Amino acid sequence: MTNEQVRIIRNTWRSLQGSDATLLGDVFYSRLFLKEPSLRKMFQVPREVQAKKLIDMLDLIVSRLDRIDEINDDIRQLAKRHTGYGVKPKHFEDVGKALLWTISKGLGNDWNKDVEAAWTACYATLTEAMLASENN
């Protein structure tokens, strides 16, 4: 990721934090389950709890984008939990699409090609780290 992409992600994340985090998470899971209903069975906790976990993890990742090595342990634990839930590599694509869609809707007119490229790079970085952790 470039420094400019990190800046874009932080600025847009700040904008998104102005909205209700539970709502943002709820919109994400609604979209994910609409597009991939089979994934619903992997989520056993109430949606508002899962939404908070999603937002907290995104907050941690965004805060450390320029120092991603500082959260390697968190990423390893996240990968381990997801493996236990039955998450497969193909599911990362489904989640990524739902996440980018949710962020685009949350940002409205502030969503553009540069923002899309930055968030795509961010998600790709996280996915690569999680898949690498699963393989170790």
Quote the pLDDT of residue 115: 98
Average pLDDT, the chain: 87
The token duo for 49 is: 């709890």
Give the Cα separation of 82 and 96 in Å (integer).
15
Confidence of residue 6 (pLDDT cuts 50, 70, 90): very high
List pLDDT tens digits, range 36-69. 998 888 888 888 888 888 888 899 889 988 887 7
CATH code, domain carrying 76 = 1.10.490.10
CA 69 vs CA 64, 79, 125, 126: distances in Å? 8, 15, 11, 11
Give the Cα separation of 42 and 98 in Å (integer).
16
Burial 72-109 (b: 16+ CB within 10 A, else e): eeebbebbeebeeeebeeebbebbbebbbebbeebbee
Contact yes or no for 134/39 (Cβ under 8 A):
no
Domain count across the chain = 1
CA dihedral 113→117→123→129, nearest 10 degrees, is: 180
- Rounded to an integer, the average pLDDT of 67-79 is 79
Quote the pLDDT of residue 51: 85
* Residue-number span of the structural domain to which 80 is assigned: 3-134
Quote the pLDDT of residue 3: 93
pLDDT at 15 over 70: yes
Quote the pLDDT of residue 108: 94
Give the Cα separation of 48 and 8 in Å (integer).
27
Confidence of residue 106 (pLDDT cuts 50, 70, 90): very high
